[in-house]
């Protein structure tokens, strides 16, 4: 443990650093800029536009940040890595002296950088006094970002893949919004296609009353799924019905009023089912389904034609692609118009890209869709680029995620082998959460305990829904993931209940400590113990975690960070008494640590679309 005088020195230092701490750049950004300058200084102008890699150190003995530029440059500069590192460090040291200790060269040529305690203390001080933003700067050049997510299909049940898309997409939107971007949340609902022929024909026969004016609420999604199966069975088995269904598609496309009304009934019924799920999840997004783009499809095809990209193949219109050959070497073109004149899923996506770029003025378009559609998006993006629908400056990005599997690693099904209804799945999590909370409270409350049913229901919902979200978000989204109520609702490990509990605890400590202290902004931070120094550094990482998330769109980074933060908080709390009389001198500073931690966890959970609780 360091002596009190060291901590006093750090506090005094903090005053000196106030000006720097108020700056918006994260320490990492400052370091990256300094490394670039140092590279130019040491090795010439050609490094002016370089973006040197600076990462968080993997172990405390490596300092706070590591830079591997010297190793990357040794070969092109024809020097030994350690020599490059020492020339670089020499130029870097003075540039960073306000925020870092002297650089150290380690191993084959890493440059290790350690933030000065005074700087860290000043940064934490300004973070605690920073209200909502917690030291996270808004981007200086906000982008307009269209996020296409959730996107279930009409007349079909929303499935676990759509659930993942909804949860991941919502978090991505929240993070981008918090960073200051202008986000458009779009639900690209599958509301068009030849399947509507059989659905409408079937509807007209079995429930003609549903199509009458004002009868739109005759169906719910539960009915619709059975309904879909029945229509499909008839379509597959009955040639007469198949003919009727085909004719119905033509009528619908021609805009026949009755067909359109039937279509609207089906859409409305599905929409109600989807909305139930969105309400449970607390997710908001704008529906702009496939049908929205119908009017644009003929133009898409004729513009592909005038760009010289369109070719005929057996009466159909296709675009030949670069880099999409099947194994035998034959090219796999993208079909945009069938020989019967019908358009495709990809044609709609081409129209949507153009609309998002031209009308929505998007700088970045994200598609949170399962990994299975990877080649669909690669193809569509390629054609959109070549046709000039999306200039190079606009980023088109598929944000893939893996499958949801059952606990046994097999397909996710109910015991009876049916696909799981999402509302059942979510309510089951809420039920299990409620049961275990009730049980624990009964044990703790002893005899005469009376549950507050209303509060219990609210708490169970926060925990249950939070658990489903957190379990999904804490995984690398690209992996498949095994859905397990037991795991996601466990109090142990990186789970929602653990984080919610951690928050409630820190919040409780903070509340107790703040009584009589009042406003914490302006509190000088002292870091007399290694635990305080480590917690302070952990708190400062929030802006960098969000910056990284904004680039690679991996929400598990935030979950990992919050989990590490709460472990670090536990170490701090074990060693640094906050609410005992013996440490009056540090009370303000330590309370500020509690406050910073509570606020970061609360903000983090909020970005993951989760609520918090003061007590579980
Ligand atoms: N409705 C599609 C599905 O369920 C997902 C749509 C994704 N978005 C898009 N623009 N293609 O598979």
State the alpha helices, DSSP H only, in 452-541.
453-473, 485-488, 496-514, 530-540
What are the pLDDT digits (tens) for 463-522? 999 999 999 999 999 999 999 999 999 999 999 999 999 999 999 999 998 887 878 888
Distance CA 447, CA 294 (A): 65
Does 134 or 223 have the greater pLDDT score? 134
CA–centroid distance, 613 to ligand 1, in Å, is 35
Which is the closest atom of ligand 1 to the Cα of 161?
Answer: 4
Q: What are phi and psi of 28, to 5 degrees?
A: -65, -40
pLDDT band at residue 449 under the 50/70/90 scheme: confident
- What does the pLDDT read at residue 23? 52
CA 118 – CA 27 distance, rounded (Å): 13
Consecutive H or E run containing 66: strand 65-67
**pLDDT-wise least confident of 9-13, 287-291, 602-606:** 9-13
Lowest mean pLDDT among 215-224, 238-247, 504-513, 545-554: 215-224
Q: How far, in Å, from the CA of 156 to the mean position of ligand 1?
A: 13
Pick from 12-26, 125-139, 178-192, 239-253: least confident: 12-26
More confident residue, 417 or 146: 146
Contact 413, 419 (CB under 8 A): yes
Q: Give the mean pLDDT of 116-120.
A: 95
- pLDDT for position 582: 65
Instruction: Give residue-wise pLDDT tens across range 144-182.
Output: 999 999 999 998 889 999 999 999 999 999 999 999 999
- The answer to whether 560 touches 548, Cβ cutoff 8 Å, is no
| 514 C-alpha to ligand 1 centroid (Å) | 49
pLDDT in the model for residue 8: 43
pLDDT band for 282, please (50, 70, 90 cuts). very high
Structural domains of the chain, with CATH: 4-115 (3.30.1360.70), 422-488 (no CATH), 496-607 (1.10.730.10)
Output the residue whose Cα is nearest ligand 1's atom 4: 152
Given ligand 1 and candidates 153, 158, 267, 373, which is best to mutate, with the most ligand atoms within 8 Å of its CB? 373
Q: How confident is the model at residue 262 (pLDDT cuts 50, 70, 90)?
A: very high
Is 337 within 8 Å of 301 (Cβ atoms)?
yes
The token pair that represents 211 in the structure block: 């199509």
What spacing in Å lies between the alpha carbon of 172 and ligand 1's midpoint? 17
Return the sign of the alpha-carbon dihedral for residues 96, 101, 105, 109: negative
Does 223 have pLDDT greater than 90? no
| Ligand 1 atom 5, closest CA | 151
290 alpha carbon to ligand 1 midpoint, in Å? 9
Ligand 1 midpoint to CA 281 (Å): 20
Q: Measured from the CA of 349, which atom of ligand 1 is nearest?
A: 10
**Residue 598 C-alpha to ligand 1 middle, in angstroms?**
38
pLDDT band at 19 (very low <50, low <70, confident <90, very high): very low
Residue of 335, 213, 219, 317 whose CA lies nearest to 267: 219
Query: At 352, phi and psi to the nearest 5?
Result: -65, -40
Atom in ligand 1 nearest the alpha carbon of residue 377:
11
Share of the chain above pLDDT 70, in %: 94
Helix or strand holding residue 110 (H, E): strand 110-113
Predicted pLDDT at 4:
41
Q: Which numbered atom of ligand 1 lies nearest the CA of 190?
A: 1
Ligand 1 center from residue 368 Cα (angstroms): 9
Q: What pLDDT, on a 0 to 100 scale, did the predictor assign at position 245?
A: 96
Question: Which residue, by CA, sits nearest to atom 6 of ligand 1?
Answer: 151
For residue 287, the CA-to-ligand 1 centroid distance in Å is 12
Ligand 1 atom with least separation from CA of 369: 7
Residue 162 Cα, ligand 1 centroid: separation in angstroms?
A: 9
Contact 356, 362 (CB under 8 A): yes
Distance (angstroms) between ligand 1 centre and the Cα of 481 equals: 20
**558 C-alpha to ligand 1 centroid (Å):** 26
CA of 233 to the centre of ligand 1 (A): 24
pLDDT of residue 222: 61
Q: How far is CA 360 from the centre of its chain?
A: 22
Write the residue with the smallest CA distance to atom 3 of ligand 1: 152
Token pair 């701090």 is at which residue?
Answer: 572
Q: What residue owns the CA closest to ligand 1's atom 9?
A: 188
Residue 108: is its pLDDT beyond 60?
yes
Pick from 549, 532, 541: nearest CA to 592: 532
* Percent with pLDDT over 90 in the chain: 78
Q: Relative to the CA of 153, which ligand 1 atom is closest?
A: 1
The number of the ligand 1 atom at minimal distance from the alpha carbon of 373 is 12
pLDDT of residue 17 exceeding 50: no
Distance 605 CA to ligand 1 centre (A): 27
Q: Across residues 363-390, what is the average pLDDT?
A: 98
- pLDDT at 546 > cutoff 80: yes
What does the alpha-carbon distance between residue 413 and residue 160 come to, in Å, rounded to a whole number?
A: 10
Q: ∠121-125-131 over CA atoms, to 5°?
A: 150
Residue 231 pLDDT grade (very low, low, confident, very high; cuts 50, 70, 90): very high
In tens, the pLDDT along 264-276 reads 999 999 999 999 9
Average pLDDT over residues 25-41: 92
Which atom, in ligand 1's list, is nearest to the CA of 352? 10
SS3 of 541, please? Answer: coil
CA of 378 to the centre of ligand 1 (A): 14
Q: Please tell me the least confidently modeled range out of 42-51, 296-305, 541-550.
A: 42-51
The pLDDT, as a whole number, for residue 26 is: 84
Give the three-class secondary structure for 337: strand
The model's confidence at residue 332, banded by pLDDT at 50, 70 and 90, is confident
Nearest CA to ligand 1 atom 8: 188
In this prediction, residues 524-549 reach a mean pLDDT of 95
Q: What is the pLDDT of residue 207?
A: 84
Q: How many helices (H) and strands (E) would you count in the chain?
A: 21, 14
Ligand 1 site residues (CB inside 6 A) read 148, 151, 153, 188, 190, 349, 352, 367, 369
Rounded distance, CA 380 to CA 349, Å?
A: 7
**CA gap 35, 49 in Å, rounded:** 11
Locus of tokens 């995984």: 475
Locate the ligand 1 atom nearest the alpha carbon of residue 345 and give its number.
Answer: 11
Ligand 1 mean position, distance from CA 511 (Å): 46
Query: And the tokens for 457?
Result: 């229901």
Instruction: Name the residue among 397, 390, 402 with its Cα closest to residue 367.
Output: 397
- How far does residue 369's CA lie from ligand 1's centre (Å)? 7
> Which residue of 147, 149, 151 sits with most ligand 1 atoms within 8 Å of its CB, as the best mutation to test the pocket?
151
Q: Pick the most confident of 17-21, 128-132, 343-347, 446-450.
A: 343-347
In sequence order, the 6+-apart residues with CB closer than 8 A to the CB of 519 are none
How large is the average pLDDT for residues 290-299?
Answer: 97
Between 385-399, 404-418, 491-505, 517-531, the lowest mean confidence (pLDDT) is in 404-418
In a mutational test of the pocket of ligand 1, which residue from 190, 352, 360, 381 has the highest number of ligand atoms less than 8 Å from its CB? 190
Average model confidence (pLDDT) for the chain?
91
pLDDT attached to residue 602: 97
* Site to substitute for ligand 1 among 165, 369, 390, 400, most atoms within 8 A of C-beta: 369
In ligand 1, which atom is closest to the CA atom of 370?
Answer: 12
User: Angle at the Cα of 611 (from 607 to 615), degrees rounded to 5?
Assistant: 135
The closest of 14, 29, 105 to 66, measured between CA atoms, is 105
Contact present, 252 and 259 (Cβ < 8 Å) = yes
* Window from 121-125, 211-215, 327-331, 598-602 with minimum mean pLDDT: 211-215
Question: Mean pLDDT throughout 374-379?
Answer: 97
Q: In this structure, what token pair is assigned to residue 453?
A: 């049913």
* Per-position DSSP letters for 485-506, written without gaps between them: HHHHT-SSSSSHHHHHHHHHHH
Looking at ligand 1, which residue's alpha carbon is closest to its atom 11?
Answer: 349
Q: What's the pLDDT at 21? A: 41
Q: Which atom of ligand 1 is nearest to the CA of 376?
A: 11
């Amino acid at each position: 443990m360091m002596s009190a005088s060291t901590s006093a020195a750090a506090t005094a230092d903090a005053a000196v650093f106030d000006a720097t701490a108020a700056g918006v750049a994260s320490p990492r950004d400052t370091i990256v800029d300094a490394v670039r300058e140092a590279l130019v200084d040491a090795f010439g102008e050609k490094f002016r536009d370089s973006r040197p890699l600076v990462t968080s150190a993997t172990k405390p003995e490596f300092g706070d940040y590591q830079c591997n530029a010297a190793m990357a440059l040794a070969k092109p500069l024809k020097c030994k890595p350690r020599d490059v590192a020492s020339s670089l460090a020499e130029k870097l040291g003075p540039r960073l002296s306000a925020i870092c200790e002297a650089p150290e060269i380690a191993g084959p040529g890493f440059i290790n950088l350690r933030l000065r305690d005074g700087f860290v203390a000043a940064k934490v001080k300004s973070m605690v006094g920073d209200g909502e933003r917690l030291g996270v700067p808004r981007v200086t050049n906000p982008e307009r970002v269209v996020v296409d997510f959730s996107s279930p299909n009409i007349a079909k049940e929303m499935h676990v893949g759509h659930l993942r898309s909804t949860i991941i997409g919502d978090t991505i939107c929240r993070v981008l919004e918090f960073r200051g971007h202008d986000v458009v949340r779009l639900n690209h609902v599958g509301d068009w296609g030849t399947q509507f022929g059989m659905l409408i024909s079937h509807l007209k026969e079995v429930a003609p009353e549903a199509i009458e004016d004002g009868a739109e609420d005759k169906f719910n999604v539960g009915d619709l799924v059975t309904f879909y199966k029945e229509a499909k069975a008839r379509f597959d088995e009955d040639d007469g019905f198949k003919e009727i269904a085909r004719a119905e598609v033509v009528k619908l496309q021609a805009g026949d009023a009755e067909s359109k009304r039937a279509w609207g009934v089906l859409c409305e019924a599905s929409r109600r089912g989807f909305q139930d799920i969105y309400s449970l999840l607390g997710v908001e997004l704008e529906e702009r389904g496939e049908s929205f783009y119908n009017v644009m499809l003929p133009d898409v095809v004729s513009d592909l034609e005038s760009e010289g990209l369109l070719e005929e193949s057996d009466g159909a219109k296709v675009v030949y692609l670069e880099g999409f050959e099947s194994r035998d070497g034959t090219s796999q073109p993208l079909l945009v118009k069938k020989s019967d004149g019908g358009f495709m899923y990809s044609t709609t996506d081409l129209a949507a890209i153009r609309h998002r770029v031209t009308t929505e003025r998007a700088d970045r378009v994200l598609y949170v869709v399962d990994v299975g559609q990877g080649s669909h998006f690669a193809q569509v993006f390629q054609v959109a680029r070549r046709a000039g629908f999306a200039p190079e400056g606009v980023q088109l990005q598929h944000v893939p995620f893996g499958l949801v599997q059952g606990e046994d690693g097999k397909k996710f099904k109910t015991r009876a082998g049916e696909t799981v209804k999402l509302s059942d799945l979510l309510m089951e999590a809420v039920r299990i959460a409620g049961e275990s909370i009730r049980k624990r409270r009964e044990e703790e409350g002893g005899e005469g305990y009376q549950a507050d049913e209303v509060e219990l229901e609210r708490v169970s919902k926060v925990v249950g829904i939070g658990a489903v979200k957190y379990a999904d978000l804490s995984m690398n989204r690209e992996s498949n993931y095994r859905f397990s109520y037991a795991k996601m609702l466990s109090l142990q490990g990186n789970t929602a209940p653990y984080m919610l509990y951690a928050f409630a605890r820190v919040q409780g400590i903070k509340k107790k400590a703040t009584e009589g202290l009042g406003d914490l902004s302006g509190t000088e931070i002292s870091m007399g113990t290694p635990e305080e120094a480590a917690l302070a550094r952990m708190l400062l990482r929030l802006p960098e975690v969000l910056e990284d998330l904004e680039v690679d769109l991996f929400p598990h980074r935030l979950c990992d960070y919050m989990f590490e933060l709460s472990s670090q908080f536990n170490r701090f709390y074990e060693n640094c008494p906050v609410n005992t009389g013996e440490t009056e001198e540090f009370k303000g500073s330590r309370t500020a640590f509690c406050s910073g931690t509570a606020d970061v966890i609360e903000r983090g959970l909020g970005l993951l679309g989760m609520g918090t609780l003061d007590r579980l």
